[in-house]
Amino acid sequence: MRSLINWLRVNYGVITAAGAVAVSVGALYFAWEQARLMRTEQEIAVWPALQVDAFSDRAGGELRVGFRVENAGVGPAFVRTVAVRRSADEYIESYAEIQSLMPDGSDLSNSTMTGRILAAGAVVDPILIHWPQSTVTEELISEVLEEGGDWRFDICYCSAFGRCWTTHSGRVEPPEEVRDCAPAPEGRF
């Protein structure tokens, strides 16, 4: 026992140094963990969440159909790519093609989404087709729904921190996180 006490008297610096190393490692761990949590909090504070919906309405006797994109998140969404699908493997290439696929008498309004920064809470109707009240018939409504009923609006967007997601009209699950946004197959919407 005496030899242990003598050793401690002579080598107290080793024990002090070991204690200092343990405290330093603990402080480094807590600092690392704090930085990781802060980064996560910053990402969540600017997390965009785009929701894409197809819509149709007959307000005022007119027939209006289109797609609506809303940023329901808390940060800006940087829209990288957008594609409009007519079916599972057929893409629409242009707004002119959309117009040509719709029954006569329609008026197409469009707003390009690719490259747009969508602020939190912003709502955009990138594609809006409407027919005046004088041309709306049950036959027209059936024709429009038959042609456009399977269309899908695909969108890939990123946050201010470079995290990216894809979503599409009709999707009920949260957006899917992806490594980056691949170029749109055809056209620019």
78-118 residue pLDDT tens: 999 998 888 878 888 888 888 888 888 888 888 889 989 99
**Residues 97-103: contacts with CB under 8 Å, at least 24 apart:** 97/187, 98/127, 98/129, 99/129, 101/147, 101/148, 102/129, 102/144, 102/147, 102/148, 103/131, 103/140, 103/143, 103/144, 103/147
23 lies in the same domain as 55: no
- The pLDDT assigned to 78 comes to 95
166 lies in the same domain as 113: yes
- What residues contact residue 123 under an 8 Å CB cut-off, 6+ apart? 68, 69, 70, 71
Query: Alpha helix (H) ranges present in the chain?
Result: 2-10, 12-45, 95-101, 138-148
- Whether pLDDT at 63 is above 80: yes
54 lies in the same domain as 101: yes
Residue 185 located in a structural domain? no
9-13, 44-48, 172-176: least confident range: 9-13
Residue 6 located in a structural domain? yes
68 lies in the same domain as 133: yes
11 lies in the same domain as 56: no
Q: Residue 176 is inside which H or E element, if any?
A: strand 176-178
Q: How many domains does the chain have?
A: 2
107 lies in the same domain as 35: no
Residue 184 located in a structural domain? no
Residue 186 located in a structural domain? no
pLDDT band at 57 (very low <50, low <70, confident <90, very high): confident
Tens digits of per-residue pLDDT, 126-183?
999 888 877 777 787 777 777 777 788 999 999 999 999 999 988 888 899 999 998 8
Per the model's pLDDT, the better-predicted residue between 26 and 82 turns out to be: 82
41 lies in the same domain as 114: no
- Whether pLDDT at 185 is above 70: no
- The pLDDT assigned to 187 comes to 62
Range of the domain at 17: 2-45
- Whether pLDDT at 31 is above 90: no
- Whether pLDDT at 29 is above 80: yes
154 lies in the same domain as 74: yes
CATH code, domain carrying 137: 2.60.40
- The pLDDT assigned to 35 comes to 76
- The pLDDT assigned to 183 comes to 80
67 lies in the same domain as 145: yes
